Amino acid sequence: MKPSKYNICLPYDDRFVIFNGVTKRFFLVSSQNKEAFLRILSTPDEYKEQYAPFLKQMAGEGFIIEDDVDELEVIKLQYHDLTHDNSYKLMILPTYACNVSCWYCTQNHRNMQLSDDDVERVKKHIAYYLPHNDIKRFQLAWFGGEPLLSFHRVEEIASFAKTFCQEHSISYHNTITTNGTLLSRRILEKMKDLDFTFFQITVDGTKNEHDKVKVIKGKSAYEMSLRNICLISEILPDAEICLRYNYTTGNLKPDAFIKDLEQYLPENIRKRINLSVMKVWQEDENNIDEQKIDTLVNSASEDQFQVSVGQGFSPCYVDSLHFNSVFPNGRIGKCDNLDPEQAQGHLTETGEIVWDKDIPAMHFTIFDDQESECQSCKYLPICYGPCPKERNEVFLQGNHLRCRFADADRLWNLNIIYYCRHFLSICFLLLFSVGVLAQSNDSIYKSVELKDVVIKGKNVVHYPDKDVWLITDSLRHNTYSVNELVKKLPNFQYSDAKDELSYLGSNNILFLLDGKKKKGKYIGELANIRFDKIEIIEHPTGKYEDYQVVVNLITKDNWKGYDVRLSNSEYIRPSSPYDELLTSFNTSGTYTYTLPKYDIAVHYDYDHSNRHQQYEYRTKNTSYIEQTIDNEKPTDIFYKNKHDFWIDTDFNLSKNHSISFKYSLWKSASHTYFSKTVERLYPNDDKGYIVNVDSKQHYQGTQHIGTIAYQGKLKTWDFSSELTYEKLLNNQTNSYTENTQELYYTPFDNTKSYLFWDINAQNKIYRKATLNMGYTTVRRKYESISQGTISETNSYRHSFYASFSMSLNEKLRAKVGGQFKNIREEKDIQNILALNASIEYHFNNNFFCDLYYRNQTQFPNQQQLNTNGRWINSCLYMVGNPHLKAGTRHLADFLFTTPHVTFVSSFNYTGNGISQIYKDQGGITLLTYENVKSWENSNSLFLQHSLNLSKGELELKGYIKFITSYSKWNGNTQKTSNWSGDIEVVYRMKNYPTISIFYAKAAYKQPSAQGWTTSGTDRCCLNIYQYMLNRKLRWNITYYIPISKGLNKYKEVYIETPTYSYYSSLNTYEEEKNMITLSLTYRFAKGKQVNKRNTVQSIQN
């Protein structure tokens, strides 16, 4: 444990207050115990046994933290939560005129008001902005000038906003800042109907002082304002009232000030008023008498006022993502403290905001300036740096942020003391034992109005169809690539040994880049500095239904940068008694260059691989029985060379429209040599014959793939479309020799073409729901030329899909969807109808459960119904079944996730499923189709946990899965069972190589003609790797540890009937025994966010 950097100790009357800026907690200690408390907080590990209860309390309140916690990241999360919620504050200045002229006012008052056209644009802006930004809470903040001089504009806009929000289930209210003199019973009655909930009214000292500042001929502005406060209390009893005291050295007269307030405000009304004591900005802080402030606070508190002094501990409201100001001339600004002519935006006819020029403070915060004084300031979590207006001026000048206060210590120490005094009047006391240090006057306080701060913060937003994770620096810590980042999200696992990312045990993960599908593993290997959000879509439907999960990476706005990755891997296996030394290697390189308007990526890799396999097999047909001979196992030798090149470009035509082009070229050449010596036994012949068989296959292929894709947005609809054409040209020669006699030599020339097109549309419905629908079509054409004979096959697949997702509340969401497929192969047509539904409940960010159901109906095609059979080979005859029924499949999944453990249970039932069946009939083997009932239960447990040790980190991860399945047809029931699992232990030390040990095992049990067949695999490997050069360079060595011979054996029974069977067993242990892989990867990325006029902060990985 370590002390927080934001602990502040200050004198407080005859005691001391210890305050933490991150959590806003504080406690009081006596003078004699102050040093003891500070000593314990500064070195908590030395006292962890002696004062364990006290330190536990201190950790809970943020005064001490874990050693690996980066408090700057915590503050960034706080800042993000405060400025990026789904509420919208629209400040409107309906007029720049005022009926009083306060000397300290920054505005140059003049007769300027919103026009009729301006009002209509504001209405359209409300109707456009709220649904397009998923706003859940909307506030109209009225300011001026004096806004009540144009109350007819207030009434018109507020009435429209209330009706719109009621129709769209958006929380809505109004606030107003006014001098209070123009309020009346008639206006307040209308304000009540319009949902005004907050009034801020200014007062400038005593009655005499106030009337000197706010002059109304023949009347007392002071009396008018305070009497109207009483009227607010009567007509709007639930409204908040803030009486802002603008004090100076001249009007700071506590006793006289309180006495005048008592004369006009009864006690029952004073209890409702928050007296906000604020210094006039022109007044020098050093001239203020602190004793008078203390007297004022004490007197006002005794007089039943709720008192607050100075600035609050929050960012300026202008920093909010959803904040804008409408000026009387119809112009739009981010800051309301501007002259209307300086506002930098305007509203279009449709209500959209168009900025005339870029405003750096809209994109960059104090955290983006690494050389800012704010980064190291102990008051950062209560100050949050210069206001956006000042920050904007600094960025425009190309300078770094500096503290704007002449004496920050004096200012913030006063604010902390006043904060503590304010909450001591309304908070409750938390007593705890601290051993011999416990004193009756050593107590800890916390505000009942402030939310607890969770150290990890909330950085995920749950939408109806997806989860959106904000990529914070803490999430990015100790990572480089996207894969390393995503593995930190729930239900994702990353195997150091296999260098592989998986989701609930499956690596069937689709990565998208800004919603666009890319090539292979490209996105997962990119540097993550480029991205600021991750979208996770579980149970994808439509064109992505074949994937377990979709991961969409969102690029930062205005990103400019490049990414380089070079890799080389080599696989070496020592020679065995019947194998020579084997080596395979892969070399690849990828370069990506990104600008705000376009993105281009180029990739090339070369792969050489070879493989030697030994296995045993047994085959039986009506002509003979053949099986391998001990010590004469067949050998399969395979060599392959492959070249792969692709280029991928994206062009952003505008903010809402982009187009992509992709081209890929793949060339491959392979050679397979198969040799076996077998014993062959013919019927009615007791003698076995030894047969030597050699077969050779040579393959050359070239593949071209071209894609054009579009992505756009129109109002609330998102559209995408993709057209892909693929062509594969290959030629293949086969030769088969038995006992030196060549039986055949066959050349093949094949052409495969593939055309894919899809269109997808998605609509967000008031953030509560998402509608997605689309259409895909695929055309495949296969043409083969063999020995002068041409054969051609065509197939078509059409798919229509739709899904509807909805958030029922903050924790519960549901999804329903459906899909219809029409598949045609030549004249054979098949239809498939699928329906699915899921419901997900989040207890919090770490615990959630998910229930998923899918129903699929498959109708038999003509081939499966056709009674006109055909020979597959000399021993196998295929014929359809005219009595087939449509097969229906039901799949139900249940998932429960905790921070370290995930449990998944799946039940799959198929009624009348259509399956291929082998049966004997008249001495021949018949391949036909039957309706088979089957059911399967699968249960999986995933574990992932890390332990921080004194010299490093130990990570344990793994899974275990059990599957039991039954199938039933014609009164026969078959059972198959298997289980699989793996475990990986990883030990990491800073500046030393990381070591991981991986072990995987699988076992299978299934019926055969001879009874039960059991088989399985075992794999164990040791992996050592290290990152160097600031994680740019990684070397890796993997050694496949020899385990008991024979365990790593995979057996499979393909067909088993009395007249026809085929059985094989591959010993993968021998294939992997003592194999070593060596890899070296260099990666480098650099980038920055840019805008039209500025470049701020370069980042590199």
Tell me which of 1095 and 337 has the higher pLDDT.
337
User: pLDDT digits over 714-724, tens only?
Assistant: 877 889 999 99
Judge whether residue 923 has pLDDT over 70. Answer: no
**Residues 905-920, mean pLDDT to the nearest whole number:** 84
> pLDDT tier at 433 (50, 70, 90 boundaries)?
very low
Question: Average pLDDT for residues 97-111, to the nearest whole number?
Answer: 88
The tokens 């209308």 sit on which residue?
190
Q: Residue 282 burial by CB count (10 A; 0-12/13-18/19+): exposed, middle or buried?
A: exposed
Of residues 288 and 197, which shows the higher confidence score?
A: 197
- 920 contacts 1058 by C-beta, under 8 angstroms: yes
Sign of CA dihedral 922, 925, 927, 932: positive
Half-sphere exposure of 179 (CA within 13 A, CB side): 25
Query: How many other β-carbons are positioned within 10 Å of the β-carbon of residue 218?
Result: 4
- pLDDT surpassing 50 at residue 207: yes
Write down the pLDDT at residue 456.
31
> Exposed, middle or buried by CB within 10 Å (0-12, 13-18, 19+), for 349?
exposed
The pLDDT value given to residue 106: 84
Report the 10 Å Cβ neighbour count for 899. Answer: 11
Rounded to the nearest 10°, the torsion over CA 59, 64, 69, 70 is 130
d(CA 397, CA 387): 16
**Structural tokens at position 495:** 């195997």
pLDDT at residue 1005 tops 70: no
* Lowest model confidence (mean pLDDT) among 199-208, 253-262, 620-629, 710-719: 620-629
Least confident of 304-308, 451-455, 623-627, 746-750: 451-455
| Cα gap 647→660, rounded to integer Å | 11
Q: What pLDDT does 320 receive?
A: 87
At residue 580, the pLDDT reads 55
Sheet of 516-517: strand order equals 460-462, 467-470, 531-538, 549-555, 509-513, 516-517
Between residues 7 and 579, the one the model is more confident about: 7
Comparing 98-112, 303-317, 395-409, 437-451, which segment has the lowest mean pLDDT? 437-451
Round to whole Å and give the CA distance between 712 and 1033. Answer: 38
Cα gap 692→816, rounded to integer Å: 59
Asked which of 28-37, 539-548, 568-577 is least confident by mean pLDDT, the reply is 568-577
Per-residue pLDDT band at 109 (split at 50, 70, 90):
confident
Flag the least confident range among 137-146, 218-227, 395-404. Answer: 395-404
Q: Does residue 855 or residue 13 have the better pLDDT?
A: 855
Please give the structure tokens belonging to residue 936.
């399967």
Report the pLDDT value the prediction gives residue 449, as an integer from 0 to 100: 27
CA 127 to CA 716: how far, in whole Å? 12
Q: Check residues 162 and 1075 and name the one with the higher pLDDT.
A: 162
> Phi then psi for 685, rounded to 5 degrees?
-140, 115
What's residue 1055's pLDDT?
Answer: 59
State the Cα–Cα distance between residues 958 and 938, nearest whole angstrom: 17
Determine contact, residues 1003/1049, Cβ cutoff 8 Å: no
Q: How confident is the model at residue 540 (pLDDT cuts 50, 70, 90)?
A: confident
Who's near 107: CB < 8 A, 6+ residues apart? Answer: 96, 98, 145, 339
- CATH class in words for 80-362: alpha beta
Question: pLDDT tens digits for 601-618?
Answer: 999 999 988 777 777 777
Give the mean pLDDT of 127-146. 91
As a whole number, the mean pLDDT across the chain is 82
pLDDT band at 122 (very low <50, low <70, confident <90, very high): very high
The Cβ-side half-sphere exposure at 226, using a 13 Å CA radius, reads 22
Q: Name which of 277-281, 581-585, 855-859 the model is least confident about.
A: 581-585
Query: How far is 605 from 667, CA to CA, in rounded Å?
Result: 11
pLDDT of residue 862: 81
Predicted local confidence at residue 444, as pLDDT: 39
Backbone angles phi, psi at 314, to 5 degrees: -140, 160
For a pLDDT cut of 70, what percent of the chain falls above it?
87
Contact criterion met (CB below 8 Å) for 779 and 799 = no
- Residue 407 is predicted with a pLDDT of 77
Strands 625-628 and 657-681: antiparallel
358 pLDDT more than 80: no
1017 pLDDT band, cuts 50/70/90, is: low
Give the range with max mean pLDDT: 156-165, 337-346, 386-395, 887-896: 156-165
Band of pLDDT at residue 453, cut at 50, 70 and 90? very low
- What pLDDT is attached to residue 232? 93
Topology, domain 460-555: Ferric Hydroxamate Uptake Protein; Chain A, domain 1 (2.170.130)
pLDDT of residue 787: 65
- Confidence check: pLDDT of 1092 > 70: no
Neighbours of 428 (CB within 10 A): 9
Report pLDDT for 183: 93
Tens digits of per-residue pLDDT, 456-499? 334 677 778 888 888 877 788 788 899 988 988 888 888 877 77
Taking the whole predicted model, whether its pTM rises above 0.75 is answered as no
pLDDT at position 578: 44
Q: What are phi and psi of 122, to 5 degrees?
A: -65, -40
Res 399: pLDDT? 75
Lowest mean pLDDT among 109-113, 633-637, 915-919, 1065-1069: 1065-1069
- The DSSP string of 142-159 is E-SS-GGGGHHHHHHHHH
Q: Note the pLDDT of residue 194.
A: 93
| Amino acid 361: pLDDT | 56
Element holding 215 (H helix, E strand): none
3-state secondary structure at position 487: coil
The 10 Å CB-count burial string (b at 16+, else e) for 311-332 is: bebebbbbbbebbbbbbbbbbb
- Please report the pLDDT score of residue 56 as a whole number: 85
Q: Examine the pLDDT at 1098 and tell me if it is beyond 80.
A: no
Helix (H) or strand (E) holding 107: none
Higher pLDDT, 1064 or 112: 112
Quote the pLDDT of residue 513: 92
Report helix, strand or coil for 77. Answer: helix
905 falls in which pLDDT band (50, 70, 90)?
very high
Report the interhelical angle of 290-302 vs 254-264 (nearest 10°): 30
Residue 273 scores a pLDDT above 80: yes
Lowest mean pLDDT among 129-133, 323-327, 613-617: 613-617
Mean pLDDT of 53-71: 86
d(CA 233, CA 240): 9
Q: Which pLDDT belongs to residue 152?
A: 93
Q: Quick one: pLDDT at residue 457? A: 33
pLDDT at 716: 78
Distance between CA atoms of 1026 and 1034, rounded to whole angstroms?
6
Would you place residue 843 in the very low, low, confident or very high pLDDT band (cuts 50, 70, 90)? confident
Euclidean distance between CA atoms 403 and 409, whole angstroms: 11
Residue 908 near residue 932, CB atoms below 8 Å: no
pLDDT digits (tens, 9 = 90+) for 675-695: 888 888 887 777 778 888 888
Average pLDDT, stretch 862-880? 80
What's the pLDDT band for 1004 if we cut at 50, 70, 90? low
Note the pLDDT tens digit of each residue in 757-807.
999 998 877 557 888 899 999 998 888 877 667 778 888 888 998 988 887
Cα–Cα dist 467/40, whole Å: 42
Compute the half-sphere exposure of residue 573: CA atoms within 13 Å on the CB side of its CA.
23
Residue 552 has pLDDT above 60, yes or no: yes
889 pLDDT more than 80: yes
How far apart (Å, rounded) are the C-alpha atoms in residues 360 and 542?
Answer: 40
Instruction: State residue 1068's pLDDT score.
Output: 61
Measured in residues, the chain has a length of 1101
pLDDT class of 236 with cuts at 50, 70, 90? very high
Domain ranges of the chain: 1-69+427-449, 80-362, 460-555, 597-750+757-765
- How many CB atoms neighbour CB 723 within 10 A? 14
For position 792, what pLDDT does the model report? 81
* 381, β-bridge pairs: none
